[in-house]
Amino acid sequence: MTELRKTPISGVMEILPRVFEDPRGLFFESFREDWLKSVNIEENWVQDNQSSSVKGTVRGLHFQRAPYAQAKLVRVITGRVLDVVVDLRMGSETFGQSLVVELSAAKNNQLYIPAGFAHGFSVLEDCIFAYKCSNYYHKGSEGGILWNDPKLGIDWKVADPVISDKDTGWPTLEEFVEREGGLK
């Protein structure tokens, strides 16, 4: 039976599918709409993305503003990552809090992230990372939070990270709140 685990941040769920292994290898269902519906999550998935990253890479923390806000269902196909979300939902009891979950090909676990969160990950082993999105990417709605914001205090578990210039230029959470207040 697939296990759906609530996390300390409302709306974020870890999904652990049932894996069948035998001498040939393994099989598991990587997505079933009824899993999410069983916990009142109903998304219309419209886009699948995939990236590959080398060990030590940090990607994020990214989000999309309304009306292009995206819920995501993320998983690792090969390798291992530290997946990070930051709650940016205005009025949320956990606004500004982060959650860190290790995702790995060995565990086949996934993370459901509602719209209204900044998302990123650090690569603990070379990986292929896949995610479903509930809305299309829209460049003009893209935003981010500085990955190493000292007030967030996220331990990305990588030394000397490989990171894009874009990701080093995002505002801190405090600067984002001063400018926008949060995400609707």
Pairwise CA distance, residues 42 & 40, whole Å: 6
Rg (CA), the chain: 16
> Residue with structure tokens 């600067």?
175
Q: Annotated catalytic, 119?
A: no
Q: Which residue out of 68, 119, 131, 137 is catalytically annotated?
A: 131
The contacts found for 153-156 with CB under 8 angstroms, 24 or more apart, are 154/84, 154/98, 154/100, 155/100, 156/58, 156/82, 156/84, 156/122
Per the annotation, the verdict on 112 as an active-site residue is no
- Positions marked active-site: 62, 131
